[in-house]
Amino acid sequence: MDKYISVITNFGCHYTCPYCIVRNNNLHIPKSTVEGLDNLEKEIRRNNCNWISLSGGGDPLWNFKYNLEWYAKFYMIALRTHMHTEVHTSIISIPKEISFDRVVYHLHDLKQLQFIKRNHDEEIVRVVFVVTKNFTEDLINRIAVYCHNSDEIDELSFRQMVDDHYQETDYCKDYLKAGHQKLWWYIEQNDYNLYYCENKVYTEYRRIGE
Ligand code: SF4
């Protein structure tokens, strides 16, 4: 079975996603540093992980050209530990210096789908929509049809939004649950991940940096 370690980065972000859990809940995710990767290899081995997933925080690809040293160290660790790599990003173009086994694009508008392109043949492409108040069954269907017909997109998820009081919301929940595992994945906000941030491991997202 796959086991993920989620590396939470904070290189900053545009902070414009309407559902941004970090901004809306004023979370204080530590800034990413090269030294903050020092314990990553040890934690990967200790937890028997086979996937590293980069996520935020901010956007892992924000200000990429200023973070080359961080990425060089990250890839060295990934290579040494034979990890599969994944990134969660809202930035639609992946820098050509790096590549991942899976890219998870976080989108908030149907029109963004047309810009999603596979970067290499083995790349798995997933799109995720956080379900905000403006979602309707019709919009969900249109997204699902687009993704189903696309050669560039392999997987589609809808994710339950967490509001500005760190509470789960239920927009279109019954409809999304009915299509779960058939037409899309519906991800409820269960916090059972292993998070790595600046040399420490957490099991709850909101505790990171505390
Ligand atoms: S990419 Fe992430 S951190 Fe940036 S605004 Fe969107 S949700 Fe917030």
| The pLDDT value given to residue 191 | 61
**Distance from C-alpha of 37 to C-alpha of 3, rounded to nearest angstrom:** 19
pLDDT at 189: 77
Sheet with strand 200-202: strands edge to edge: 185-187, 155-160, 124-131, 102-107, 84-89, 51-56, 4-9, 195-197, 200-202
What is the structure's pLDDT at 23? 84
pLDDT along the chain (210 residues), means of 10: 95 88 86 98 97 94 96 98 97 94 95 96 97 95 97 96 88 95 88 89 90
The whole-angstrom separation of Cα 140 and Cα 174 is 12
How far apart CA 109 and CA 97 sit, in angstroms, is 27
CB count within 10 Å of CB 184 equals: 21
Look up the CATH number of the domain holding residue 144.
3.20.20.70
For residue 59, the ligand 1 atom closest to its alpha carbon is: 1
pTM of structure: 0.95
- Of ligand 1's listed atoms, the one at least distance from the Cα of 89 is 1
* Domain limits for position 97: 4-207
| Number of domains forming the structure of the chain | 1
Q: Give the bridge partners for 131, in sequence order.
A: 160
- 53 CA to middle of ligand 1, Å? 16
